[in-house]
Amino acid sequence: MDNKNKTTILNLTKEEFVHPGNRACSGCGLSLVYRTALKALGKDTILVVPPSCLTVMQGLHPIASTKLPCVNVTFASTGAAATGVRAAMKALKKENVNVVAWAGDGGTGDIGIQALSGACERGEDIIYICYDNEAYMNTGVQRSGTTPQGVLTTTTPIKGKLQEKKDVPSIIDAHGIGYVATASAAYPLDLYDKVKKATTMSGPRYIHVHTPCPPGWSFDARFTIKIGKLAVQSGLFDLYEIIDGTFNLTGQSKKLIGKDKIPVLDYFKTQGRFKSLDEQIVKKVQDQVNAKWAQY
Amino acid sequence: MHIIESGNVAAATGVKLSRAQVIAAYPITPQTPLTEKLSEFVEGGELDAQYIPVESEHSAMGVCIAASTAGTRAFTATSANGLLYMNEQLHWAVGARLPIVMCVANRGIGAPWTVWNDQQDTIAQRDVGWIQIYCNDHQQIIDSVIKAFRLAQSVSIPVMVCYDGYLLSHTYMPFDQPEQSKVDTFLPKFAPTHFLNPDDPANFNTVTLPDVRPGLDGKMAPGYIEIRHNLQEDLRASLDVYEEIDTAFAKDFGRGGNPFVEQYKCEDADFVAVCIGSLSYQLRDVIDIMRDNGVKIGVMGVQMYRPFPNQAIIAALDGKKCAIVFEKALSYGNQGALYADIKSALYNSKDKPLVHNYILGLGGREIKTRHLLDALNESCTAPETFGDSPRWIGLKL
């Protein structure tokens, strides 16, 4: 996106689609992501949400925190449910509606991957937003497929997770869909522009958002943005777009090309969840990051 | 217009005449020809619907749930393990009060793998809250599909239309195909008051607390238990609604009048064979043989299994000597599910008959006239000595 077209805090719409005083934890990365993305999606949007922190944030019957129509669906069926909403919109000749699936990392990359894969393969006209807080936070911080290696969770309580993080956006990209992007809660305007761009396209569009979680990652609620930025500035989580198969780094990640980056250890040190990491894993991750960036 | 077609095509034709708007399905034997026919209707322009070839049954119901919530008439079909794979979604669809219609071509369930007919698949789903209608022939399949759509949207409860795999799904029979214009009059458009609408946003299926809770307007909103109580009340009330719909259908199309049980030679009978599905028509031949031998016996097919038509059961069986329940399914570890339900209904009757239970035909084991004849003769000869445990027919141990 050209610099002149980038959204800034000065021209970001003031319209809100999320009521204040909702049930998000203080410092919640998701609440930032949700508020920002909904601004970009606008009024003519239908949301599909499986169980996740968002289900709780949405509020308890009969009060809702979102000013958009939303259907809560079963954990594994998000991609299918979004398909169903789009099919209904086609049947009812209501074409100008954004159908947006919104799920966590477990709901996307673990239990929800079959329905999402099916929707991508069929070329469904939906936007799928995954907020990745790297574990099952809503149920109390259990490991998920996208939990990074070495992280302490309630189901990896002593040694940390033994396996590496599942690369969900790459799996989705392998379906050959037109738009795959990553974003971060720490760079909300970059996220806004990506969601906005997605609304101008058709077919399956997938946005994977790195979303710090104070209680789950064990850090003070005031550091959400700082930690989200460190993940990007250390080169660990990259902001990019893949448009019709062409990969480009964007925003802050693009600025890091050819520059020295913050050591990943500086990111790890900010969070209690990494406290059992040994030097060996830290070195391995740093080597992986260096090798990845050598290719950019 | 009379046509000769398979049971699956009868079902597909009923769906076409009902103008389903969103269809999602995953292939499973013996349902497959139904969904093939529907995709042909849609691709060929005979049916203006969205056909979604999903990657699983769980997703088939996921599509239907969302499409129905968005205000469209949704349909799917399945069998056996496909139905079981949907289980969570079946609960969700009824909890969300969505008028989805689903056909099930009944099939036994694994393990071990079987593709042949019994009714364990749908009987095992009796407690999810869906309405279950069972068909005895192809005419009932096409008629029941049309009636099911009207029932579902009248009571906001999903409906399963069940018919025996292979025995009905793959056999060919003549049946009358109702005229589209008459179906359009009989089945009004689906126009829900609440649906996914950006102009009137609402959050569907939110987390609901154990207790009632005030909304922003100060009015009390129901808690989970009130919502479930309403479902139960509406399910019981749907018996009357279905009777009205069946009467209206009979008036428009000249068929029907037996919404709950279909009786054959029961009026003067001492003994009544009871079952679900196509077996009840096979039993008619057996009953005729026994009648020739002087036994006063009839047969009753149960057409609606959930909600269970207790009053119709009592009316049919009160004062009889013995009801003999044949089942192609059972509640494992206890007895046949229909047998238990029949006994439960008859507990409130004045002149209770004895009730016997036979299990037969599981996994497609052929049901021979000789087997049925032997069983009925056994039951009619010394009914008091039968006991309360199911006996199995045709076992080769």
For B376, the enclosing helix (H) or strand (E) is helix B369-381
Question: Which residues, listed in sequence order, are joined to residue A50 by a DSSP beta bridge?
Answer: none
Contacts of B197 in chain A (CB under 8 A): 69
Strands, sheet with A246-249, edge to edge from the N-terminal-most edge strand:
A246-249, A240-243, A179-184, A205-210, A127-132, A98-104, A45-49, A70-72, B203-204
Rounded to whole angstroms, the Cα distance separating B376 from B286 reads: 9
Entry pTM: 0.97
**Is some CB atom of chain B closer than 8 A to the CB atom of A175?**
no
Pairing of strands B213-214, B220-221: antiparallel
In the prediction, which pLDDT does A2 show?
54
- Least CB–CB distance from B66: residue in A60, A62, A85: A85
- What residue ranges do the domains of chain B occupy? 2-186, 261-392
Kindly give, in sequence order, each residue whose CB lies less than 8 Å from that of residue A3, ignoring residues fewer than 6 positions away.
Answer: none
Closest CA to A237 of A257, A207, A210, A219: A210
Q: B51: nearest CA in chain A?
A: A87
**Is some CB atom of chain B closer than 8 A to the CB atom of A92?**
yes
* Parent domain of A235: 3-295
For chain A, the domain total comes to 1
Nearest chain A CA: its distance from B23 CA (Å): 9
User: What ipTM does this complex have?
Assistant: 0.97
Interface test with chain B among A38, A60, A74, A99, by most B beta carbons within 10 Å: A74
Number of CB pairs, chain A paired with chain B, less than 8 A apart? 170
Whether the upstream peptide bond of residue A62 has omega within 30° of 0, thus cis, is yes
Rounded to whole angstroms, the Cα distance separating A138 from A267 reads: 24
Give chain A's residues under pLDDT 70: 1-4
Question: What distance separates the 2 farthest-apart alpha carbons in chain A?
Answer: 58
Q: Give the pLDDT confidence of B134-157 residue by residue, as tens digits.
A: 999 999 999 999 999 999 999 999
B59-to-A82, A142, B48, B92, B279 alpha-carbon distances in Å:
10, 26, 21, 13, 32
CB contact under 8 A, A80 and B63: yes
Residues B223, B224, B229, B235: is their CA dihedral positive or negative?
positive
3-state SS, chain A, equals CCHHHCCCCCCCCCCCCECCCCCCCCCCHHHHHHHHHHHHHCCCEEEEECCCHHHHHCCECCCCCECCCEEECCHHHHHHHHHHHHHHHHHCCCCCCEEEEEEEHHHHHHCCHHHHHHHHHHCCCCEEEEEECCCECCCCCECCCCCCCCCCECCECCCCCCCCCCCHHHHHHCCCCCEEEEEECCCHHHHHHHHHHHHCCCCCEEEEEECCCHHHHCCCHHHHHHHHHHHHHCCCCCCEEEECCEEEECHHHHHCCCCCCCCHHHHHCCCHHHCCCCHHHHHHHHHHHHHHHHHC
Are A213 and A137 contacting, i.e. CB atoms less than 8 angstroms apart?
yes
B215-to-A63, A148, B208, B280 alpha-carbon distances in Å:
6, 41, 12, 52
Tokens 């609901």: give the residue. B208
Rounded to whole angstroms, the Cα distance separating A256 from A248 reads: 13
Q: A87: nearest CA in chain B?
A: B50
How far does CA B133 lie from the centroid of its chain? Answer: 3
Q: Give the pLDDT confidence of B73-106 residue by residue, as tens digits.
A: 999 999 999 999 999 999 999 999 999 999 999 9
Tokens 């922190």: give the residue. A53
Tokens 């077209």: give the residue. A5
- Least CB–CB distance from B62: residue in A56, A84, A89: A84
In the prediction, which pLDDT does B84 show?
98
Contacts of A61 in chain B (CB under 8 A): 206-209, 213, 221
In the prediction, which pLDDT does B219 show?
95
Contacts of A121 in chain B (CB under 8 A): 55
**Is some CB atom of chain B closer than 8 A to the CB atom of A44?**
yes
CB contact under 8 A, B24 and A61: no
Contacts of B18 in chain A (CB under 8 A): none
Q: What are phi and psi of B170, to 5 degrees?
A: -115, 0
Strands, sheet with B22-24, edge to edge from the N-terminal-most edge strand:
B50-52, B22-24, B74-78, B101-106, B159-164, B131-134, B304-306
Kindly give, in sequence order, each residue whose CB lies less than 8 Å from that of residue B250, ignoring residues fewer than 6 positions away.
Answer: B256, B257
CB contact under 8 A, B56 and A114: yes
Burial class from Cβ neighbours inside 10 Å (0-12, 13-18, 19+) for residue B11 reads: buried
For B16, the enclosing helix (H) or strand (E) is helix B7-17
Q: Give the pLDDT confidence of B342-363 residue by residue, as tens digits.
A: 999 999 999 999 999 999 999 9
CATH number at residue A224: 3.40.50.970
CB contact under 8 A, B52 and A66: no
Residue B56 has pLDDT above 90, yes or no: yes
Q: Give the pLDDT confidence of B2-46 residue by residue, as tens digits.
A: 999 999 999 999 999 999 999 999 999 999 999 999 999 999 999
Rounded to whole angstroms, the Cα distance separating B65 from B63 reads: 6
**Class in CATH terms, B261-392:** alpha beta
Percent of chain B with pLDDT over 70: 100
Percent of chain B with pLDDT over 90: 99
Q: How confident is the model at residue B380 (pLDDT cuts 50, 70, 90)?
A: very high
Tokens of A31: 């609440």
Q: Do domains B2-186 and B261-392 have the same CATH topology?
A: yes
CATH of B2-186, one of 3.40.630.40, 3.30.230.20, 3.40.50.970, 3.40.50.1370: 3.40.50.970
Q: Give the pLDDT confidence of A225-237 residue by residue, as tens digits.
A: 999 999 999 999 9
Task: Report the residue count for chain B.
Answer: 397
Rounded to whole angstroms, the Cα distance separating B60 from B104 reads: 13
Tokens 């005083």: give the residue. A21
Q: How large is the average pLDDT for residues B243-270?
A: 97
Rounded to whole angstroms, the Cα distance separating B355 from B345 reads: 11
Rounded to whole angstroms, the Cα distance separating B329 from B326 reads: 9
Tokens of A249: 């780094």
In the prediction, which pLDDT does B52 show?
98
Q: Give the pLDDT confidence of A136-156 residue by residue, as tens digits.
A: 999 999 999 999 999 999 999
**Is some CB atom of chain B closer than 8 A to the CB atom of A31?**
no
Q: Give the pLDDT confidence of B200-218 residue by residue, as tens digits.
A: 999 999 999 999 999 999 9
CB contact under 8 A, B207 and A61: yes
Burial class from Cβ neighbours inside 10 Å (0-12, 13-18, 19+) for residue B154 reads: middle
Tokens of A143: 């490991």
Give me the half-sphere count of Cα atoms (radius 13 Å) on the Cβ side of residue B107: 28
Q: What are phi and psi of B179, to 5 degrees?
A: -70, 140
Q: B207: nearest CA in chain A?
A: A60
Rounded to whole angstroms, the Cα distance separating A53 from A74 reads: 14
Interface test with chain A among B21, B48, B52, B63, by most A beta carbons within 10 Å: B63
CB contact under 8 A, B74 and A56: no
In the prediction, which pLDDT does A21 show?
87
Average pLDDT value over all residues in chain B: 97
Closest CA to A228 of A215, A254, A210: A210
Closest CA to B332 of B118, B93, B51, B71: B118
Rounded to whole angstroms, the Cα distance separating B280 from B301 reads: 5
In the prediction, which pLDDT does A3 show?
59
